[in-house]
Amino acid sequence: MNTEVLKNRYPNLNPEELFPDFPRIPMTGYPELEGYTWEDCHRGFKGAGGLFLVFDTARRMKLEAGMRILDLCCGNCASSIFLAKHFDVSVVAADIGVDPTDNWKRVQEAGLEDRVLPIRMDATQLLLPYEYFDAVFCMNSYFYFGTDDAYLPYLIRFLVNGGRIGIASPCYADELSPETPPEYYFDAPGFAESHAVHSPQWWRKHFEKEKSVEILTCEASPWGREYWLDDVRWLIEECHPRHRETKMREMVLQQILMLLIDQNRFVTYLNLVAEKQTG
């Protein structure tokens, strides 16, 4: 859809008009998610990617049954429940902003009381034992605190030797510059996030500063744009623009415009897996 037409007609347009530009991720590409509907793959998530991204990241991290996982910034713990159920791991599901009692109810509904422990905790003040976790999984959140040079050396204290960190997070193909079109900034009013959203090259250099981790993967996901398009599709299907509060409507419009303009996959997703070395 032409962006000028869109701006003039939004939000008074039929959401179906946007569907061709914002395809769903096809379930046929994920035979492992058999039994889930496309809607199931999105429900409960607070960022893009849903179960598709959880699955892709977990596979890259090579999770094994019986591992202890920290789901850092778990949100509504949809990822924690999925990891416990499908990878047969135990999960501590930590988030500062979500009530752990609400998450506990979700865990109970999933029948995973012996596998997932929701806690309220700040990622920068983890009240957890050192050298306890086999892996840290962090989706749609690491850039909130992980750009600090002191954070990775701090986080790896909680991992066993050989333990892995898997990050799945919005990223840009390149760093922002004065020439970057304003549409590529996804800052909500009073909440400027874009400058913490770096390129895979930036993240590689950032992680290389910590000598006791080996970077196993640090690249733009081949499906980065597809996660974004699919998430906008979820937002326009699930929350019709006319029915939502202004702030949400503006956020969705901003993402629609950004993705329509971005024909070169500048806005994408980071795949980062790093391993703590035996020291």
Ligand X SMILES: C[S@@+](CC[C@H](N)C(=O)[O-])C[C@H]1O[C@@H](n2cnc3c(N)ncnc32)[C@H](O)[C@@H]1O
Residues that bind ligand X in the complex, under the rule CB under 6 A: 45-47, 73-75, 79, 95-98, 122-124, 139-141, 144-145
For the four alpha carbons of 169, 170, 175 and 178, in that order, the dihedral sign comes to negative
Q: Closer to ligand X at the Cβ: 10 or 206? A: 206
Q: How far is the CB of 145 from ligand X (least distance, A)?
A: 5
100-109 and 78-87 are packed helices; what angle lies between their axes, rounded to 10 degrees? 40
> CA-to-CA distance for 229 and 267, rounded, in angstroms?
10
Q: Between residues 10 and 138, which has the closer beta carbon with respect to ligand X?
A: 138
| Least gap, CB of 255 to ligand X (angstroms) | 13
In the complex, the smallest distance separating the C-beta of residue 219 from ligand X, rounded to whole angstroms, is 20
Residue (of 276, 273, 275, 278) closest to 59 by Cα position: 273
Q: Which is nearer to ligand X, 137 or 266 (CB)?
A: 137
Per the structure block, which two tokens stand in for 100? 């752990």
Report the relative pairing of strands 116-120 and 213-220 from DSSP bridges.
unpaired
124 vs 147, which CB is nearer to ligand X? 124
d(CA 270, CA 201): 10
**H/E segment holding residue 229:** helix 224-238
Q: How far is the CB of 139 from ligand X (least distance, A)?
A: 4
Q: Cα–Cα distances in Å, from 199 out to 205, 220, 230, 263?
A: 10, 8, 21, 17
Nearest distance in Å: CB 202, ligand X: 20
Nearer to ligand X, 159 or 167 (CB): 167
- Closest CB 155 distance from ligand X, rounded Å: 12
Distance between CA 224 and CA 12 in Å, rounded? 29
Token digits for 239?
């929350």
Largest Cα separation within the chain, whole Å, is 60
Residue 135 or residue 139: which is nearer to ligand X going by CB? 139
Q: Cβ(116)–Cβ(80) under 8 Å? A: yes
